[in-house]
Structure 1
């Protein structure tokens, strides 16, 4: 027996050691948790800080590149300003009459930027005048015969490279403009632009301290520089940068400045003149962008190390209370006093065993009560969840006693505060007077037949706003034998309003589609008759009218079909024919907002007038001009909108022998649809069309009074 007992004890001891060896202590679990949190945080932090560095680098690249692009545009504008002034001088009538003295005075007053001057040279190389000296002073012949001969052949303006002029010893750029007289190049008009102009352009931009900015000519020679310009103006930039500028219009490249500073150079080359603007960002600033995330990363590492030390301290603090908790749970399970020294056991397993023993001892006493409470709590939770999800308010009504119980949501459906008293009489008083009979009949029918209650009616809130309420209920017998009703309430105002809006939108969409199809059908029918009459351009005209109609639809769509400005309708059709200076076609008139129907009709009319002007009228000639003016007029009769279309500078106009399709379309679209009056005058100098509309048929009513004050005639 003793052998058997010893064997059993030994086996139990081995089993305990084996079971213990497979467990993990609480301290190890805490360290594992710390590592599981720290390692992903380190990886994510590294990736995040690298992403921040990349984002900051990209933001710097975009910002500096935008600066170079803006500076190149400023450089172009500066040169274009001088070129424009020279072209104006080149068109001077004094040059065509040979009055060089008068031209000399005109050139002196041209207002070119200092220290520029103007030189006029003949095709034989003779310098006729120079505003740098008094008129009549003997002048040497030009030293640039090749340039004069090339300009005579190409008839193009040339901008020279930056160089030091042998006579004046000034660092200049020369702008040469051909002077055409009687369809030949008779003279070359030249001006010299000093580097001071471009140096001032850089100084005005206030380039950041430490950066270097430069203006380069076509060959890569420095024309102006923000740092030490006296030492570097006239020198070429490094070959690597020249190659990068030649291969791309803009970008950035790692390079070295002429004064030996490593930089990241951002450049932008002008497409018009071939000049470039560059900004050198020191490599030290680029490295600073990397150091900031690195410092944050080091700070994070320090925090993580401190967290590890704190985790070690906490693990030691947690282990002892857990041991005491295990001992207390075991004592509670045996019914013994909770005292005595702590027992050295593995934490999680000991807690599990202790709680199991304690729960077994008290389960029989609490099981029944807990099951009932759990079922009740679960049912109440489900009910609250369902009512809250559906925004439903609950109510109970007992007709025999008049008792009326409501939930806060139910009171909120009728505009009451959660704690505000709300009786059944209050409910009836809140119902819209027109809906009270319907509600009373529904309740009486449900109570008499013991059926479900379903009714919707309008409720008037204390703030006098109107809301739609849906009521659902069911009858039941109360414990005292009386018949009562319970149910829910729901505010369905938004759903009702959404249904009404949807019906209105569908009706409006149907109306607009019908109007558009009617317009297309009318244009197609008239185009067909034109094609049958032998018009070879009928199909192209039809496509053009559809495209014009599409533009007008796009204009209305951008305003959600609430109308459009008259000027926007005109620009939508006429902007394709406008010149760069916006002088060929001029608009003049007050701000007038047209109704959608007027936008469609006027858009087709303007399209027809523009098409006729491009084919036969003023827009078919290079010097042709078009003027569109409009005004809101008032008088003894109803207010009118007057639109005047005037062409000039085009071919000689002849009155057509028959009324064309475009004229018919204008009259049908404007006269029939809007009640307008159209007058076409085919004067030899240019077509003139005057269109008059009644204000109420074309303008949005709210704007008529405001525009009356701003109108002009």
Structure 2
């Protein structure tokens, strides 16, 4: 490449094949001088002393660390002792309640006064009170309440949890409903005949715990606190009146706390930095004792050794640097002579010029060796041109060398062949070289070259690719690579490099890019993500679609391979690991497995992964690199699951409907063929209506109002049943809140309401035009169980009397309500019409057996 820096005319060089161009290059003072010998000696002193100082610092640091560990151990011991004291405090109340629960009068309901006296004496012994709860949470006895005074309303579900578990429990700090004070309660189940029957409780008073902490805590500037399972301060040694009842500030590592340990944080009292030891209280799950000490007390113990170390190190540095300054003055003279010689060599022309003035022998052995080595390097430099041309001949690489000081350029024959012909003297300029380049590459190539050879630039390497236009019009790609030699001031002295024809490589790269683009488009069309894993280094590369499937924004968030397997569903982890290991170990060439993955947003996604070994270890045959694809199949799996569920539900409902039809055919009286056909037809129609409601709701259930309306609507606003004419027809009203009914209950209620409607159409309110039917329902809590109350009230029909015998319809209704739905029913055959009521547990009807939602 012709890379002249002058705009003037070229002048022939003294040797064939070279051009010498005038350059405005003048010697300049180095902009960034290299460190001098004196500075190097100072560095040597520092390199000698600093390791010793570092060793001393490390030893001192270890001593300080051990001192800090001893202090933390003291904090831990104090926390453990206080935890044991609080544990004993709680255990004493549990023991007292245990003795109270074992008293003979505890389980006797005919001796309340005797037991109350015993409970008061027990509470007074601990400076507190005793509370007795019934199984439903109602307070039976509270020794803090005057005898005969009303008890507060029923509390929360803590009493039920104690009765269910059968073990003592310590509650969190709360405001007492009777005392109006912040207290925590110790609750103990009272057994009758071995079964938990009632619950006895005694408070834990913060002031008692404060007195216990004040008596047990060691002296110092720290503080002691007790927190409940919710992290609320129950007791504090420094300022209980202000701090008790406050929430301990949450920490990011609260979920990783063990039984005991040491944390760093800030004081609640004044915000100062503290070091805190904690210990759990065995008898109160979640409760902890905290003992803190100001961080300043730890720092005070470390200040003295640190000051001594700093002072000694500073004195050693001053002494060493003084000796280095004295020694440098002796060594600088021969070094300066060598520097002058080197600059003389650099300021002369090429190696064909006369050699520089010789350097006299030095009195220092190492400097003398340096002088001889410099002379040998000069001789080797004279041989560089011959070796350079030999390398060009062997490798057929277009080599070049540019002397950026004189403008002389040397090109190999291979270099000339790359450009099609040898340049004439008139073409030996920078502009002529640019004209040979492709128009689209000229500006870029010129800019990169000028930046590389600029004085003071940091570049020592020059590299770029560009296109040239040969004399016959063909376009070829040239890869230029070179090294730039600079002097101490940063001036560019020489560029040595080579040109290589990379036309075939560029065409192959273009074809590869086109193939990669087609592959990318295919992956995007199929919504597939691609990945590659280096099993030796544990590194993975994933496409943007793969990261999107797994819910990550970048590869750095994903973590190293195979850490991501921790997010695979436990039920799928073994199958995935087995499939991957079979390919990695060479037992299979590829794998395909579907698994569930937990995304960072908490959503589970179904993922199908396919992979195979792209490279294996020749010695072991194990895979060292794997590639594959990932696809999000969540929608497909959910659709398959819904289809399977729907098929199972449809099969179940069809079998159930056929069974009911079979029972109706078998049990319906056959004396009257027309009545038999009509009755069976009505019951089958009821089943069909229930089936239609469930199908409309995708087999997840139906609303109670729709079920009732579907069964009575055929008998409203039409000619009278069994041939009677009614211009307007009977009418009905429905009243009740929305109640979602499970599929199994929809069919049962449909049959029951059908039988009631059929009976009303034959004998009751739906048999005459003036008849009125009122169906209502409501939700209420009966003995702790949410219950649906159904009411069927007929008026305006014919006078009704109780039937003398029970038919199939009555039997079906009773079996549906009592046996299938677990409820009870009542029938009142009044003169104005039938009044039918039923009470059914909501849990047997609805998916959520709780209170009704707000409208």
Higher relative contact order (CA 8 A, sep 6+): 2
| TM-score, normalised with respect to structure 1 | 0.42
Higher helix share: 1
